[in-house]
Amino acid sequence: MKIFIVALILCVVCAVIAGGYWVSSLSFETPEQRKSMDISQLKMINSAESFTRPGSATEARRQLRALYDLDAAQEEKVKEILQNLRHVMDSEANSVSERESILQGFDKGIAESTAKREHALAAEKTWMDAVDDLYVYADMHPGSFSLSSGHLVIADAVVRNEFNAKMEYQGDQRKAFLNAQKEFSQFQDQSLDKLGLTPHDVGAK
Tens of pLDDT, residue by residue over 96-145, are: 888 888 888 888 888 988 999 999 999 999 999 999 999 999 999 989 99
Q: Which amino acid makes up residue 89?
A: M
Of 197 and 187, more confident? 187
**pLDDT given for residue 188 in this prediction:** 83
**pLDDT given for residue 41 in this prediction:** 93
13: confidence class by pLDDT, cuts 50, 70, 90: low
Task: For 29-56, write each residue's pLDDT tens digit.
Answer: 444 566 778 889 999 999 999 999 999 9
- For 62-72, letters b (16+ CB in 10 Å) and e give ebbeebbebbe
Name, in order, each residue with C-beta under 8 angstroms of 22's C-beta and a sequence gap of 6 or more: 71, 74, 75, 78, 117, 121, 184
Of 204 and 49, more confident? 49
Of 79 and 14, more confident? 79
